[in-house]
Amino acid sequence: MNDQPLLQPIENENTEKEVLTEGNKKIKTITTFSVFPLIINSAIGTGIFGLPFAYYEAGVYPSLMILILFLIVNNITSGYVLEALSRLNILPKSFNDNPQIIEENKCFIKETYGYTEMGYRLGSYPLKYFANLSLVLNCYAGLWAYVATCIKTFTTIVWIIIGNQDYCHAKNHFLDSWECQLTYYGSLIIYGLFVIPLSFLDVGKQAIVHIILTIVRFGSFTVMIITCIIQVTVDGPLADERNVFDFYWNGFGTVFTHTAFAFVVQHTIPSIISPVKGEKRKVNLPIISALSIASIFYALIAVICSYTFNGKILTPVTLNWSTYTGRNGGWGEGKELWFAYIIKYLILFFPVFNLTSSFPILSNTLAMNIENLFPYRYVLNHPKKCKYISRAIAIFPPFILTCFIDSLEIIFDFAGIIAFFLAFTLPCLFIFMSLYRFNGFTLFSIKPKTPFTNIITSTPFVVMIIFFVTLILFMISLFFLIQETVLSFINDSSSSGSFSFSN
């Protein structure tokens, strides 16, 4: 998942093509090809930091099977979003009004709508509120992951500077010493003092920052892959607790939710393609290409890191570079070599810089969705008050949650459950309802056709199959997650006699 979900209309990112005018308002447009880097940046985000742990838990082979399945289904459901947007161009704005004449020649994407508006026009208020609630919870999960990732990183860096980086390594920070808890909550306060004021400001254009962070992102991933390969080649994996290429079905729930959270981009598609000039008939091609490239990066990072660190894998995975010395493959004993300092702090600070820049963007996006839940007249009469109340509701809960729960495994599991609805459930409902509005309940009619209609996957019958298959997989993963959580609670209670939030 991206660190910069784009749920509101965007004017331009870093790929400006030309400036058009609509009345007195200037509208900047982008090319169809420009959708590719935007989807890439949307796909490769926070979720990738938890994938190596998920692959270790479930095993590489079942994890790769799930990754391939997700790639196929995500490409299909992304097409569903595009199809539904195309049919909205010829549908009445009110759900209660039925379409009179089917004009397939006008069935293309002229205007784009966010998930909430799509839900309202295709399924009235029930689908609108379901879409809006899914977006709000997904944004909360993302912000929670941002805060927890940065705080864990800050705490690790502080103890590296002190000279005792292994001092605070309890999974549950409540079980740590008072010095570790002081560092943890101190980092939380400092991070909050920096990022909260930024989040109350309107987010301006960040094209240059966006480009820089993209370069840093891929540069850091490349360094991570290279250093792991060198370690395995020279001295082998750092641990050998289990064969990561075996099947571990008890980890199915973890890898399912972690992959879902990492892969969800469907809700960002409407705003990403919004500034594309023209009828947007070929935007599916860069979307498919971008998701394919993202899945390759997911596989590389997850497989290589899970094999290299094995039982020593941490979440976020970047924390494993806190012990990098550059010796004997990379993680050998001894004083750090000069280049090891550069590599260590590049990887450690990478998520901090990335997520600190993204927090205001995501929090403003969340605030906008929360404001949509306010009574319309109240927003109209008190616009500033609603604006700042919604931002406060968006910003502070993730910090409060991180005070009690800092386990990224739990956060990614929760986020993956919500991502399931955004990536699979809602796109299936959108395309099904877009066909239902024209044809009633049929199993094989795909009229009116759109530029993105597939004669097989777009039929209501196949849509229902995808809906129920993904739902069954979701229920299976939920069962394993609940089982794992209960067993973890029992083990923690018997060993420490105290409640633990960590899995």
Alpha-carbon distance 124 to 415, whole Å?
Answer: 26
pTM of the full structure? 0.82
- Residue in this structure with the two tokens 């309202």, named with its chain if needed: 120
Alpha-carbon distance 314 to 48, whole Å?
Answer: 13
Cβ within 8 Å of residue 485, ≥6 positions away: 503
| Band of pLDDT at residue 104, cut at 50, 70 and 90 | low
Tell me the residue length of the chain.
503
Rg of the chain, C-alpha, whole Å: 23
CA distances from residue 443 to 74, 161, 459, 460 in whole angstroms, order as listed: 22, 64, 7, 5
pLDDT tens across 41-59, in order? Answer: 777 777 888 999 999 999 9
| Band of pLDDT at residue 68, cut at 50, 70 and 90 | very high
Tell whether domain 18-304+311-496 is in CATH 2.60.40.10.
no
Alpha-carbon distance 319 to 84, whole Å?
Answer: 42
Alpha-carbon distance 486 to 491, whole Å?
Answer: 9
pLDDT tens across 241-290, in order? Answer: 889 999 888 888 889 888 988 888 888 888 788 888 777 888 889 999 98
Backbone torsion region of residue 325, taken as left when φ is above 0, otherwise alpha when ψ lies between -120 and 50, otherwise beta: alpha
pLDDT tens across 326-355, in order? Answer: 999 999 988 889 999 999 999 998 888 777
Alpha-carbon distance 253 to 57, whole Å?
Answer: 10
pLDDT tens across 449-478, in order? Answer: 888 988 889 999 999 999 999 899 888 888
Over residues 192-199, mean pLDDT: 87
- Domain limits, the chain: 18-304+311-496
**Between 29 and 66, residue with greater pLDDT:** 66
Is the pLDDT score of 203 beyond 60?
Answer: no
pLDDT tens across 141-166, in order? Answer: 989 998 998 898 888 888 888 877 77
| Band of pLDDT at residue 494, cut at 50, 70 and 90 | low
pLDDT tens across 371-419, in order? Answer: 877 887 888 888 888 888 988 999 999 999 999 888 888 888 888 889 8
**Between 103 and 346, residue with greater pLDDT:** 346
For residue 10, the model assigns a pLDDT of 35
- Hey, which residues does 276 pair with through a beta bridge? 30
- Hey, which residues does 22 pair with through a beta bridge? 25
Nearest-5° angle of CA 154, CA 157, CA 163? 145
Helix (H, G, I), strand (E, B) or coil at 165: coil
Q: Which two tokens stand for residue 497?
A: 């006699």
* Mean pLDDT (the chain, rounded): 82
